[in-house]
Structure 1
């Protein structure tokens, strides 16, 4: 892969972390990320048009992994911005219904246009045998009955299928986002209290302590080799403990400004474990 593209994904993650920690709300966060990703995509496109690729492997990797990551995030944050700016202010029934409707629409789109496609199955199963057809420029077969979007793309900077991957990635992120916005106690999909095996599992410390633990796991890359986002980790803990965490970014921002130890709960965990070890010598 071209040298200048090696750190793009890491750079996006670092930007997300910084923006999440400094913005006042999700609308501002989405707005900043949209601007950042738009500029990044324009810059990357200029580089591609000016210099092309060193090899076919570089080209395939770019259109299969790099560009879809940028574009997928851009689609996702643009959707978030539109949803949040039209969101009801209250956290009541109208608020939950609003996000449930968006979740329902996303599921319908997935069932009707995504999950049954040959390309979706190809991508999800990790196949590579048709990568040269899907992820190299100039290989579009218009006789395959493709979506009319194919006529709107720039053939010098898109293989058409890179956009389809971007949509898949954006929808994955949007699905997690919508789940986190729906009150855990009210949504049957997230509620585990009817499960006999999980009804006695609940969080007994503060929500701030749980947020501290979640961010520690995220920052250390201890879950899924660091490839899982903070919102998804947060969702997992909300499901496991049946506890709504609301805006964890603000909680994290307050955590950074604490007087004294900024990792009070983790310090407590370490001390408790060491005491336990000493008692079992």
Structure 2
């Protein structure tokens, strides 16, 4: 069974665009996305259990790249729903203190359960030498002193480490969400409140292509004379094109070390523009 990451991300973005195009509260959007992602994961699980994988590389790709994206978003939207429905107020000091407390809790969980682990450094370094152990079924090494969560997962559909990546993805999304609640200037809606965006405008290339463009504009000081930060610039593009970007820093790190051209999208942009110019000659 072959599942393409690009198709999964496109389906998720499409559903996010559908919900964002309606006048809905954040809690309602988060709830609907939770249901959608849970159903998607359930259906994919049924297909995997029925058909399996054609080879080990396909299995590694699924548990390292594909499933964590779905599960990470599922964890994120479920968390947003819980936060939105438990926040004591819509503004004011209680509102501010609530989200500040949640941010502290998130940072504590990150320090205690994620960043100090060897696996986190492995994942961040974009290594592949232990992929066989981490991302194929039936290879959990209990001598590593794993957390008790390993006993709560379905080992027919998890290598344990796919859950870890999903939580890394979810934590980064939740972090950005909490910042947008605490700091209005970090809120993409506030940033673009005076910009008339058409919800039918969407980014139809890959996430990496958009991240490459954002970093190029940032590095060339082409926006606000370079006085705008990369995070805020990324938020603007996310709202403009109605497309979420996950860990842009990790994606940029992969670009720096990828084989072939490190600026593949910019190279293609230049070629496409030159071909378009030649049509007018």
Q: Same fold (TM over 0.5)?
A: yes
1:89 shift after superposition? 2.6
Aligned to 2:104, the other structure's residue is in SS state: helix
Task: Note closer, same or farther for the CA distance 1:31–1:121 as it changes in structure 2 (3 Å cut).
Answer: same
Match of 2:194 in 1: 208
Does the CA-based 8 Å contact 1:23-1:29 persist in structure 2?
no
Counting only pairs closer than 5 Å after superposition, residues 169-184 of structure 1 correspond to structure 2 as: 169-184=169-184
* 1:163–1:238 Cα change, 3 Å: closer
Alignment of 1:142 onto 2:142:
yes
CA contact (8 A) 2:3 2:62 kept: no
Two-structure CA RMSD over aligned residues (Å): 3.2
Change (3 A) 1:223 1:167: closer
Q: Structure 1 length as normaliser, TM-score?
A: 0.69
Distance 1:133-1:23 versus aligned 2 partners, 3 A rule: farther
Q: Secondary structure at the match of 2:21?
A: helix
**Change beyond 3 A, Cα 1:40–1:92:** same
Superposition map of 1:1-281 within 5 A: 2-3=2-3, 7-184=7-184, 207-209=193-195, 212=197, 219=203, 225-226=209-210
Contact 2:135–2:162 (CA<8 Å) still a contact in 1?
yes
Distance 1:25 1:215 in 2: 20
**Larger Rg over CA atoms:** 1
1:106-141 residue CA offsets vs partner (Å, 9 max, x unmatched): 111111221110000000110011000000000001
User: How many residues get paired?
Assistant: 219
Question: Which runs of 5 or more structure 2 residues have no equivalent in the other structure?
Answer: 213-227, 243-281
Aligned mates of 2:4, 2:124 — CA distance in 1: 27
Kept in 1: contact 2:6–2:206 (CA 8 A):
no
Aligned twin of 1:198:
none
- TM-score w.r.t. the length of structure 2 is 0.69
Q: What are the superposed Cα offsets for residues 231-280 of structure 1, whole Å, 9 maximum, x if unpaired?
A: xxxx969957xxxx9xx79xx9xxxxxxxxxxxxxxxxxxxxxxxxxxxx
Q: Give the secondary structure class of the aligned counterpart of 1:212.
A: coil
* Contact 1:135–1:159 (8 Å) recurs in 2: yes
CA contact (8 A) 1:221 1:227 kept: no
Separation in 1 of the partners of 2:177 and 2:82?
Answer: 13
Distance 2:143 2:231 in 1: 47
